[in-house]
Structure 1
């Protein structure tokens, strides 16, 4: 199964710069591997990140989302302490909400292209 996921930062703070997405992609790829899932595409803007994930039906979307958000939040806060100024009020990097859509109607190449075309923070 394929899912298009989008995570937004807490309070939609614009916290990511050009040095964060590369590390975030590797963190997400590792978290996916732990769940026997595959990160197909990833990109990020300064206040949200879209991704395309291939996962087996035995993995619940909520479990996948919680793992990806939890692991990335913990590791990014450890590796980039400067992000603390954005989440000091809530002590959270990500908003509690997320967007998830199954992908099947549109060809995967179209969804990948959409994610690739997101503006990287600069």
Structure 2
């Protein structure tokens, strides 16, 4: 049908002169100016500053590190309970498993509702795992 099998569409670009302004930088891909990158000079830091910063980093790491296993998960579960969305969990303490709803967190203990009338408290250091059963 068509004997000429050239491209179907031609795109012509427009070249226009741009006035130089101080307010804007003009980037033109047609001008291939290679920018030479110079390596940064090494800055020497005094020993006192290095020692101080390493102690400071150690203090920050110890603060951000969780005190016990599953700390963040337990705090989120307690937050859900405070928003009237209790979470049924299986709290693993050694070889024992406690099924209930965690509702309060202390410095040393996690308080768990086993039923409407019965409650249990578990030492935080003894908790090995917290498994969410149902939201």
Same fold (TM over 0.5): no
Q: What TM-score, normalized to structure 2?
A: 0.21
Whose helix fraction is larger, Structure 1's or Structure 2's?
1
Q: Which protein shows a greater Rg?
A: 2
